[in-house]
Amino acid sequence: IEQALRHAIARSELALHYQAQVGLADWRIVRFEALLRWRHPQLGTIAPSEFVPIAEESGLIDRLGEWVLREACAEAARWPDSVHIAVNVSPKQAMSGSIANSVETALAESGLPPERLELEITETVFVSEGATAIAALRRIKALGVRIALDDFGTGYSSLAYVRRFPFDTLKIDRAFVRELCTREDTRAIVNTIVALARALAIETVAEGVEDQSQVHALREQGCDMIQGYFTARPL
Ligand code: C2E
Ligand code: MG
Ligand code: MG
């Protein structure tokens, strides 16, 4: 897999799919999240959960991440001005520090205004050796790029993380959305996350929204945006 991945970029086997994030107040599309796919000539389409960890271990993640940023920014530059783009960034890629240059290059080449780009990063970025990554993220934020905390609620979910970096968006993990209408405790947790984000002036996106009852619950709780199969699959 590692060998094949080395050639995947050059052979144009990588592709981005885009999934809408929609405002709950007006149903307008706020942005699309770019989701990476690998169309392997023999194995077919491979999900990022399969090959991103291999790219991280083998050091290929920087090149892969650079390609994703370039491709996503170039694509978004052709969209209407009101539609933004979100790009996932591996904590490993952020820790290597090269991320800031990759972002600057992608913005310069595409002409995309920095305000239309949001980077999604998970809390793993804080767990070990966070200093380099946080410095890089601060540099990127200073450009005007937005930073989102992805998969919030899983892992450690330390409240200290929302203090260590001024996130613009908090993405409530799918695991919570799934249980939102069946478990009272989950509903209370989501309610608290939304209230916390609101108090800190951070926008909230609920991930993995699949049905109407979840939409109702999230609207009741004051969540800003939804993303999931209910509105659109990654396209
Ligand atoms: P993520 O950033 O949390 O992305 C959301 C995942 O949930 C996507 O899986 C998406 O297809 C899936 N999803 C969206 N709506 C629904 C729904 O309603 N129901 C269900 N069951 N699933 C839904 P995907 O595309 O397989 O990506 C998995 C993870 O791989 C992403 O999680 C992200 O952490 C990572 N990833 C994706 N693209 C990239 C990339 O370009 N670079 C890096 N470093 N990581 C990426
Ligand atoms: Mg994401
Ligand atoms: Mg997520």
- Residue having the nearest C-alpha atom to atom 2 of ligand 1: 88
Q: Which residue has the higher pLDDT, 169 or 98?
A: 169
Indicate whether 24 pLDDT > 80: yes
- The per-residue pLDDT for range 26-74, each reduced to its tens digit, is 999 999 999 999 999 999 999 999 999 999 999 999 999 999 999 999 9
pLDDT (0 to 100) of residue 109? 98
> Which residue pairs from 41-50 have beta carbons closer than 8 angstroms and sit at least 24 positions apart in sequence?
41/13, 48/88, 50/1
- Residue having the nearest C-alpha atom to atom 21 of ligand 1: 208
pLDDT (0 to 100) of residue 129? 66
- The per-residue pLDDT for range 110-129, each reduced to its tens digit, is 999 999 999 999 988 887 76
- Residue having the nearest C-alpha atom to atom 41 of ligand 1: 36
Question: Under 8 Å CB-to-CB from 142, ≥6 apart: which residues?
Answer: none
Confidence of residue 218 (pLDDT cuts 50, 70, 90): very high
How many Cβ atoms are within 10 Å of 75's Cβ, its own excluded?
A: 16
Ligand 3 center to residue 125 CA distance, Å?
Answer: 14
206 DSSP β-pair partners: 172, 226
Look up tokens 């989950």; give the residue.
186
**Contact 26/4 with Cβ under 8 angstroms?**
no
Q: Which residue has the higher pLDDT, 98 or 218?
A: 218
Ligand 3 center to residue 180 CA distance, Å?
Answer: 16
Ligand 2 center to residue 99 CA distance, Å?
Answer: 16
